[in-house]
Amino acid sequence: MESITIKDVAKICGVSVSTVSRAINNNPGINEETKNMIMQVIKKYDYIPNNSARNLKRSETNNIAILIKGLNNPFFSPMIAEFEKEIKKKKYTFILQRVDENQDEIEVAIELEKEKRLKGIVFLGGYFSHSREKLEKLTVPFVLSTVGMSEMIEGVKYSSVAVDDKKESYKIVDYLCKLGHKKIAIISATDDDESIGKLRFEGYMRALCDNNIEFNPDLVYYLQSGNDRYSMRSGYIAGKKIVKEKADCTAIFAITDIIAMGALRAIYEEGYKVPEDYSIAGYDGLELSRYYIPSLTTIRQPVEKIAVETLKVLFDMINEKTDSVHKVFDGELIIGESVKNI
């Protein structure tokens, strides 16, 4: 029931608590023998230090937190793995904190910063439309990683690492155009959706324009709004609609791979074929999209690179080598089996 504390260990060992503390924290200036003896007792009695007490007392830690909205998004999986690896390599402690869809990530961050005495924070994915005042409450360095930024936030020290959503979405839509597609539908988020939905839509518009294709509002299919708007189901519904309305298009650009796959399935169920009847392009470059049948033509975000760079920037900020860096990576056009040349 009652769990053992540092005092108990000290008593058992016949030393003072500070000596025990030194032993468990690998402090210098402690006799090897006493240390060994203490460690043995600790092992025997299974003493585990209380983290709350440690965090409370410690002036600083090596804790780095990754805050992530939409944990179930497979896009994040490889990034998380990379973060963990890198953070451990640097001898920091990795804390993964999930943020609920309708929770304010900054609030969570502020709370966690206090609780864990964070050294730095990474915000992963999602949007970011927070006021300056709020962001200023964050007193440790933070980096936005693959966060669709609609605009820079003035007067706040922070960094960001991501691809340029607009540019990349332009890239893939332009690719569709160059293959001869002139009627390209888009499955996109509703107007009120900030961030990636908007940015990727802008890239689409621009690409059409540069290819002298007139924008046809009838070819814009909106995802249902709601928390699962970026789901397969949501793409599926949009796909069904496209087919049933006999949308006048030869290609479809879905703003994420997941949505593309949902749409693909819908088209398949309606008896059409991809890419023969409809070409479909996605965005993200999930591992899954290589294994889907047909594999997706998509924009691959260099997730590993982004993760590594995110931490590099964060550590640079922590070590005061830099104040603020905004790094943009190129996406890679992956040519899969879901788009045909016409």
Partner DNA sequence: TTGTAGGCGTTATCAA
Partner DNA sequence: TTGATAACGCCTACAA
- Binding residues for a copy of itself, rule: CB under 8 A, are 1, 3, 46, 48, 50-53, 55-56, 71-72, 74, 77, 80-81, 84, 96, 98, 100, 110-111, 114-116, 137, 139, 232-233, 236, 261-262, 264-265, 268, 287-288, 290-293, 295
> Where in 42-131 does DSSP place strands (E)?
63-69, 93-99, 120-124
Residue 21 binds DNA (CB under 7 A) = yes
The answer to whether the CB of 191 falls within 8 A of the CB of 257 is no
34 binds DNA (CB under 7 A): yes
Sign of CA dihedral 332, 264, 257, 181: positive
The percent helix, strand, coil of the chain (3-state, each to 5) is 40, 15, 40
291 binds, among a copy of itself, DNA, none (CB under 5 to 8 A by kind): a copy of itself
Query: Distance between CA 299 and CA 335 in Å, rounded?
Result: 9
Q: Is 299 in the site for DNA (CB under 7 A)?
A: no
Which CB atom, from 77 or from 150, has the smaller least distance to a copy of itself? 77
172 closest CA partner among 291, 289, 276: 289
Residue 66 carries which side chain, given as an amino acid letter? I
Contact 225, 251 (CB under 8 A): no
Angle between helix 32-45 and 6-13 (nearest 10): 120
Distance between CA atoms of residues 99 and 101, nearest Å: 6
**Least separation, in Å, of the C-beta of 142 and DNA?**
20
Residue 40 vs 52, nearer CB to a copy of itself = 52
Q: Output the CA angle 326-329-334, nearest 5 degrees.
A: 160
Shortest separation between residue 61's beta carbon and DNA, angstroms? 9
Q: In whole angstroms, what is the distance from residue 124 CA to residue 67 CA?
A: 6
Q: Give the binding range for DNA (CB under 7 A) out of 56-64, 142-150, 185-193, 305-313.
A: 56-64
By the rule CB under 7 A, 18 interacts with DNA: yes
Question: Is the Cβ of residue 2 or residue 192 nearer to DNA in the bound state?
Answer: 2
| 287 contact choice in a copy of itself, DNA, none (CB below 5 to 8 Å, kind-dependent) | a copy of itself
Q: Considering only residues 12, 39, 58, 90, which one is a binding residue for DNA as defined by CB under 7 A?
A: 58
Beta carbon of residue 98, minimum distance to a copy of itself (angstroms, whole number): 5
Binding residues (CB under 7 A) for DNA: these are: 3, 5-7, 14-19, 21-22, 24-25, 27, 29-35, 47-50, 53-54, 56-59
